Chains A and B, each alone.
Chain A
Amino acid sequence: MEGHTGIFAINYLFSKKLNFSISSAYTDSKAHMERIELDGPTAATQIDNGTNGFSRDYNYDFSEVQQYSDLHIRELDLACSISYQINKHFSLNVEYNYLYYGDAKPYLYDGTGRAHIGIFTLSYWQ
């Protein structure tokens, strides 16, 4: 299992009334199983079951089993906001948020998704 997470944020005061900020968090994480090693015989064993009309192999070959559980997920959370102080009681804030979840090794289903969120806020304080 291995994961990398990077976080970056900037905050800039254009003026006493205008503020800009941007922040992001990115994660890249992987998990996998290594080759499975068994004690004893690993060759396929023929089991002849003539009463049911077909034969089965009980296969001890696990050489591909580890691939079934491979995981590789990438996530991004990005937010930008601008806030403007109108006067000593009111301020405006505009924010954009981008969310990404990436399933780079889907197996049963692909969980990839993206979301965009825009926010507009008027604040009042006494």
Chain B
Amino acid sequence: MNTTDLLGLSPLIIPALAGILVMLAGAFRARPAVLHALTIGGIGLALLSIPLGRSLAPRDLTPLLRLDAYALLFLSLLYATLGILAILARPYLQARRRQGEAFPALLLFAGTGMGVMACSNHFASFFLGLETLTVALYVLLGYLRDDRRSLEAAVKYLILAALASGFLLFGIALVYAATGTLVLDAAARAAAALLQEGPAAEASWAVAGMLMLMVGFGFKLALVPFHMWSPDVYQGAPAPVTALIATGSKGAVVAVLLRVLAPDIAGAGRLAPLLAGLAIVTMFAGNLLALLQTDVKRLLAYSSIAHIGYVFVALAAGGAGGGRAVVFYMLIYLATTLGAFGIVSVLSAEGDADADDLGAYRGLGRRRPALAATMTVMLLSLAGVPPTGGFLAKFAVLDVAIGAGRWTLALAMVIASGIGLYYYLRVLVVMYMGDEEGIPTMPSPAAAPLGSSLALGVLVVAVLAIGLYPEPWLRAAGAAVSAVLGG
């Protein structure tokens, strides 16, 4: 450990320090505006420190953390997500008179946890990062402590996240038993080699370990059949926290998942049948269950289940191209999902209850043209329609699936996303095509708060820019993945 290492660690240290600073400021009864400024400043500084890390990469910072192009890309994505969430959360909390120091501090700690996960190259640091994130989420989920549904979401998440942690730990232990190392890339390489052609006993340890890990990841990513918790938690949680679970939390988990699976994906692909099975079940269940929802948060919950299914199509297709498609997909998924939940957040900030019923969106196209247009862009991107980024993401996944000759997977994805079209269209129908008389006469302020508008504007531009000119993003995703997968 020397000064250079410390410099490299600054993207992780800054949010943690900012979190402590926010707590201290809260103890001295700082005004909410000051707390907010500290939060945004902390995240902004962390983002600014990432180019610093770029000059050092690739570099091992302690045996636990690895700073490479892959980690840096995920750090930028996750911190950008976090910053936008902090901006969107403020009016929401203001409306509920809950502007303590706890929320921003916890958000920053969750950010630290995600950052550690993105950089982790060791099962210990991965688990530490995950638990930092998860513990922060427990509190954030139950943050509206007078709201029964918020508490219910927190308890549900607590139980299932603990279960997932149990599976993960057991899996880590088994992989360690089989391979004799906890360093992520080495363990993953050894496990992949064992899966391919190892002595029977150790291979079965490795198989059991990888399966346990997949169950743990499955819970965190809400893969079917480990998805049961997600619609309830999404629905009950405060809207900005729902956004955090759907975006940042999943993004960080995928970052680790790809590191764990990388040797197998790039090599023999022994896990491909498992991944393909999970992908197909998840895509279909997510999309079919979303058809029935009348609650926007639940609908988006099922939609994001389906989208993780598409990511698994790329994982199952494998190769360097598959890895690149995974990262590219996540990039667009984060921007789009954040945008969709951002609209829910902004609308929720205007009333006492969260705007989760579809009815709250009736006639939005007439009442709030800018918000409705933003939501339209996000929904089209989720549905994968040009000229949005979602289309390119879907193209990238289909491309690797078909390029690898996995026609069954590709056709399953085509059919599943065809089903998915229907519920995205339904939201558009409610926003634009309702009858005149059904429009609720809720008090609508003239415009969304400036910060939220700017944040959503950035997301719209990002989603359209990626859709129209994806080359730089594809290149970034490719460079990041080659740090992990080689080639």
A joins B in a complex: no
Which A residues lie at the B interface, using CB under 8 A?
A: none
Which B residues lie at the A interface, using CB under 8 A?
A: none
